[in-house]
A and B are shown apart, each in its own frame.
Chain A
Amino acid sequence: MPGGDGAVRVAEGVLVEPRAVARVAASATRGVGGVVSLEPTLVGLVAELGRRVADAATGREAADPVDGVRVEVCPGGHSVAVRVALSVGGRCAREVAADVAGATRDALERQLGVRADRVEVSVVDVALIPPEAAR
């Protein structure tokens, strides 16, 4: 099957890496009102479970730019499926999820010329303490 974990072909001879797609998706998601944070997935976390591993990699404290975003190149290699996991707060989760999907589609199209077949949003947390009170 072409595609898989390879790059996505946006035009003749123009390839975009999934990681670049993930970065743009992450940035678009963070720009949506009501998104509190992107959330690392289980796979990303396994490496951090050990104390010493985590301490040695202090750079990881600042979340990886693609934490919480997974990109798969669709069969054929011309489009992608994106999955985003996030925490919301201060706005209705359903509206935030819809806006994230829209913003991600637009950003991928505009910035990379990449077409998304599917943008799936998982809301893993709803923050109920207003940010100013949580400080």
Chain B
Amino acid sequence: MALNRGRLARPGRLPCGRNVDALWEQVRSGAAPDEHVSSCPHCRTALEGLRALDAATRDLAHEEVTAPPGLLERIMRVVRTEARRGATVPLVVGPDPAHVSTAAVAAVVRFAVDTAPGGRLRARRCRVQPAAGTVDVLDVTVEVVAFGETEPDLDGLRRRIGSVLAAHVGLRLRELRLDLVRGENP
């Protein structure tokens, strides 16, 4: 009861005037107790508790707690399903129509940016819209963060996005807007 009840002159202080939080810092840092602490009964009592707490805290903090694998799977099922509710882009028209989710197309665009040669580009926001009155043509806006000193090859990136979209999805680009942002740390 010595640490935080009635006998304390001020909250957090021992009857001898020492601050418990300061003692804790000493214990945590592994510093040797000063002369007062070694001889003061209040401090020594407090120190015992703090040392026991310190040891148990280290053990607790080092325990490996792993989320159950089923948990991740369940969360991702919800996320994937909700992501699908969004807008789609037509892929095929006719008696057997097909469409693809804009989220999936945006992911392909980001993939094209992220895997561009040099590895210095990262895609962020990406907007995908079907070009009005067309079937397999798209307008795309993508924010690209460029790291490093060299000027990114934007023409090369445009071609790359176009060919990756054609290969993975089968859609063509009408307009592609690249919003270039300078990255600070690589």
Binding site for B on A (CB under 8 A): 39-42, 45, 48-49, 51, 54-55, 85, 92-95, 97-98, 101-102, 105, 117-126, 128
Contacts and interface: CB of A to CB of B under 8 A. Distances in A.
Q: Most A CB atoms within 10 A — which of B70, B74, B101, B104?
A: B104
Contacts of A98: 92, 96, 98
A94 B77 contact: no
B107 interface: yes
B80 interface: yes
A115 to B, nearest CB: 12
Contact of A124 (B84, B95, B96, B170): B84
B23 to A, nearest CB: 44
A118 B88 CA distance: 19
Query: Which label, helix, strand, loop or mixed, suits the secondary structure of the A interface?
Result: mixed
A123 B96 contact: no
A123 B97 CA distance: 11
Given A42-B81, A51-B74, A117-B95, A124 B101 contact: yes
Given A123-B100, A126-B100, A128-B107, 11 more contacts: A40-B81, A54-B74, A92-B168, A93-B104, A118-B97, A121-B92, A123-B91, A123-B98, A124-B101, A126-B107, A126-B168
